[in-house]
Amino acid sequence: MKALEKYSPHGIMQESYFKGSGCSIILDMFSIEKAQSTLYERTDDDEIVQTMNTEISVQGLIQKAYDSLKVSDATSALKVLEEALKIDFEHPEVVYALKCLNWWLDRIKRLPEFADPYERGGFILSQWKSFYSFLDRIGEAYDPCQYALRRFVFSTALQSFQNVLGDGVNQHDPGLLLQVGRCYKGVGNYDLAIKYLEQAARFKREDGETLSELADVNALLNETRAAKVLFREAFFLDPQGIDLRSMESEMIIRLRDWVKELGYEGAELAEWIPIYGCLLGVFSVKRVLKQVELGRLKQSIFTLENELRNQQDTTMLLKPRLINRYFWLIDHYEHVREDSSVIEETMLKIKVIDPGIYERYRN
């Protein structure tokens, strides 16, 4: 029987033109393969859709948990995160958020041990450094989670401090004012934060921690000039008293991270920040020294020079601390138009202890 040369769209001869031939087998096989391929494609599509729906559902629960934390409802946040974990028990952000929240809830459970509300609030804030160590161990951070937790923790501490603050004599307690200011910064109320931190700074004008917190809030409020002069002051007075991990403004975070990339960490990091803050123009706003301050500065330089000369810098902190004081002294000399030879003498001292810093400062 003569075959007619007619083909299907897929290039397979139609069965009707080959009555009694074996071509029906070819067509059947082709149809099965096509059906299977379509089935696989639909199955893959279904899996993708299901995965997307699961992710959307989990993300919605995560956001709901964060919203609960922001209004201090940790119980609801925990329940929602546990519900999200049932949907996807390997979701990294859910696992991370649960670890962090449970860490804090374990500490919050201890609050009834403190009868004094000031001690309760102080205990909560004292746990931050331990929490930072915990975060370093568990790996990748999720900023939205950290933000929600900060709101929850600082709001909890603020409730205790407000019970102590009242309207009386405690309004003049610089330590309490500092803690209240820190808490308001932590919950994002920068206007009230700066109010209490300014009050605290009036009582503690030479406290590096207080000034750094005040500088940080000024930076968050885009009061850049005030922030720069306050940060410069704080890092001169007491670099070791500044909680670098608690700083929130981009100004100081970027500087901190930049210096950290140079290899400095721990106590050294805090001492080198003002050096590079000066070199990079971050601490560019300066003030005039009073005569009594100039006298203290020169005495501090004399003491540090002797310690460094006697090779007592076992902590590696003396060199950057001394360089920072040289920077302050040069700034003073330039302001009062001191003889250039006096300025050059101080510059040469910097060159002796750190030629690299000298070259960067000179240029």
**pLDDT tens digits, residue range 278-318?**
999 999 999 889 999 999 999 999 999 999 888 766 678 99
The answer to whether residue 317 is domain-embedded is yes
b vs e for 311-350, b when ≥16 Cβ sit within 10 Å of the residue's Cβ?
eebeeebbbbbbbbbbbbbbbbbeeeeeeeeeeeebeebb
Least Cα distance to 227 among 285, 182, 177 occurs for 285
Query: What pLDDT, on a 0 to 100 scale, did the predictor assign at position 290?
Result: 93
Per-residue pLDDT at 56 exceeds 90: no
Parent domain of 295: 288-363
Number of domains in the chain: 1
The answer to whether residue 342 is domain-embedded is yes
Distance CA 114, CA 120 (A): 6
Query: What pLDDT, on a 0 to 100 scale, did the predictor assign at position 166?
Result: 76
Instruction: Calculate Rg over the CA atoms of the chain.
Output: 33
The answer to whether residue 253 is domain-embedded is no
Span 238-259, average pLDDT:
96
The answer to whether residue 155 is domain-embedded is no
Answer for the pair 307, 313: CB distance below 8 angstroms, yes or no.
Answer: yes
Per-residue pLDDT at 168 exceeds 80: no
Average pLDDT in the chain: 87
Distance CA 134, CA 312 (A): 33
Confidence of residue 79 (pLDDT cuts 50, 70, 90): very high
Span 31-41, average pLDDT:
51
Query: What pLDDT, on a 0 to 100 scale, did the predictor assign at position 116?
Result: 93
Per-residue pLDDT at 10 exceeds 80: no
User: The whole model's pTM is what?
Assistant: 0.82
The answer to whether residue 276 is domain-embedded is no
The answer to whether residue 321 is domain-embedded is yes
